[in-house]
Amino acid sequence: MSPKKILVIDDFSQMRSTLKQMLQSIGFSEIDTATDGKGALDQLARRAYDIVLCDYNLGEGKDGQQVLEEAKHRNLIGYSTVFVMITAENTVEMVMGAMEYKPDDYLTKPFNKDLLRSRLDKLLARKADFDQIEAAVQKGELRRGISLCEERIAKKPKNLSEFMKLKAELCLRTGDLEEAEKVYAAILAVREVPWAKVGLGQVRFKQGRYAEARDIFQEIVDQQRTQMEAHDWLAKSLERLGDTKRAQEVLANAAQLSPKAILRQQALGDLAFRNADFDAAENAFRKTVNLGRESVFRKPGHYTRLAKVLSKNGSGKDAIKTLDAARKEFRGDEKALLETTVVEGLVLRDQGRENDAKKAFDEAATLFEATGGGAGTDVALDMAKACLLFGEKEKGLALIQDVVRNNHEEEAVLGAAQEIFADVGLEDEGRELIAATTREVAHLNNEGVRLVKEGKLEKALQLFEEAVGSMPHNRTVNLNTAQAMLIFMQKRGRDERYLQLTRQYLDRVKAVDPSDSKLQKLMGVFERVAASSAA
């Protein structure tokens, strides 16, 4: 008898008992069952399972993919849990189109116990095979993960290409583009393997060679329409090249192939909105909101986006209804209340209901104050726009300036800021403000880096600490400050306060973009500094 704990999730009682019987005859005895997504998540929260067998189709409520997404997102299942999605022939593509969080394997009905046993044996063996590497990756020790991959590759195992694939992915994440490219090129020299081609495209993208990246992704998509990842990257490349129209077409096409991928719908809506294709944006945001009902990716921003575009399309009433629905969905969530109230003010104003609009705006302003600057970029921009429209120009400009200072290299944010200026008729003044602010931040960073290079570490630290205090969300400032502190400690020895601050700055960047290559490098240095000085 195997001591492995198994959870079977299926809405049909007959299928549950068939699966249970199969598993028992294979030699498993610890088998729990769940009949729907909610029940399954409760069970997963209570008990750690080794294997989860989940039917994709669970009737009303969450589907199998949403169960997987939420379980992973909430850390209810770890890397060592085998998650198998059971699909019928008509649901395979639904699972395939998922954007993140893929199951370990698919099992297409009908199957028998012999097949199930063989598949589970192999999956468990595979988990054991990758155990150490996955554990390192889970802990964020990507460089250790890479060296573990290299150890395995040197032994030339049967599944050599799986280790090469993982190694290249980790190299991409740590920003070691040269090494990643070597792996992909080695694979591609033998065969046109889709994942290696997608990987090479990502290398080009990260090198900033967007046109080459675009051509690679285009080729993959032409050959294999169903490579969803390639569609997403193609759209991103086109966006960087300024061809947002084509990017939108690509994403629309991809979204059609994977109608249930919520994150892709949201990205499509954002692009369509930027392209002023408000019909397409409305359509995409409507789908995003609907898909969000049972999804862990649900957020108030989906509703406010839909409301904004509805208002643009002249459906102000529907926009207000959408915001009301959001407040109901996110009851008790202060941030959600703020987000929806700001947008409500904007929508009411579009409708010409000045008094109601002003009331909503005042309410939003109070809520905004209460967040103490922690409202997030999107909300801050909406708030700024409202200030400009409701005659509080100084406050609006200050808010935008603050957003720009914290995001001086994020093209999408700067674009959104410029759009607001255009909307309120301050196009030239706005452009001037954005340019001056980004210049100022860039200059500050350069100055700090110069001081570090000249060895004037105390002066550099003073400058950076001040900068990070006034721009706590600026990625470059956080990274540069962390770097300066690490260099300081490497030269002058351990400093508890600096260690703690460095960790804090790195965590901030990690929360936004864990794959930032400079972040990855600094995390490596941080581990060494923390370890060496502790000894």
Site for other proteins in 347-406 (CB under 8 A): none
Binding piece for other proteins, criterion CB under 8 A, among 71-79, 116-124, 173-181, 527-535: 116-124
Nearer to other proteins, 105 or 440 (CB): 105
Binding piece for other proteins, criterion CB under 8 A, among 6-14, 47-55, 154-162, 381-389: 154-162
DSSP at 421: H
Phi/psi region, residue 36 (left: phi>0; alpha: psi -120 to 50; beta: rest), is beta
Nearer to other proteins, 17 or 108 (CB): 108
CA dist 533 and 535 (Å) reads 5
Nearer to other proteins, 220 or 420 (CB): 220
Contact 323, 352 (CB under 8 A): no
Query: Which residue of 25, 118, 138, 490 would you call a contact of other proteins, by CB under 8 A?
Result: 118
Site for other proteins in 177-206 (CB under 8 A): 191-194
Q: Which two tokens stand for residue 106?
A: 């698919």
- Total residues contacting other proteins by CB under 8 A comes to 28
> Is 208 a binder of other proteins (CB under 8 A)?
no
> Is 97 a binder of other proteins (CB under 8 A)?
yes
Q: Within 10 Å of residue 109's Cβ, how many Cβ atoms?
A: 12
Counting Cβ atoms within 10 Å, is residue 220 exposed (0-12), middle (13-18) or buried (19+)? buried
- Site map 238..267 versus other proteins, x via CB under 8 A: -------------------x----------
> Is 159 a binder of other proteins (CB under 8 A)?
yes
Binding piece for other proteins, criterion CB under 8 A, among 22-30, 107-115, 272-280, 285-293: 107-115
> Is 25 a binder of other proteins (CB under 8 A)?
no
Binding piece for other proteins, criterion CB under 8 A, among 102-110, 210-218, 380-388, 451-459: 102-110
Nearer to other proteins, 118 or 470 (CB): 118
Residue showing tokens 């589970």: 120
Query: Which residue of 15, 92, 424, 449 would you call a contact of other proteins, by CB under 8 A?
Result: 92
How are the residues of the chain apportioned to helix, strand and coil, as percentages rounded to the nearest 5? 70, 5, 20
Compute the Cα dihedral for 67, 69, 75, 80 and give only its sign.
positive
Taking the alpha carbons at both ends of the chain, their separation in whole angstroms is: 47
Angle between helices 354-371 and 377-389 (to 10 degrees): 140
Nearer to other proteins, 191 or 497 (CB): 191
Q: Which of 56, 53, 11 is nearest to 28 (CA)?
A: 53
Strand partners, 7: 32, 52
CA dihedral 434, 438, 444, 445 (to 10 degrees): 160
**Can you give the binding site for other proteins, defined by CB under 8 A?**
89-90, 92-93, 96-97, 106, 108, 110-112, 114-115, 118-119, 122, 158-159, 161, 191-194, 223-226, 257
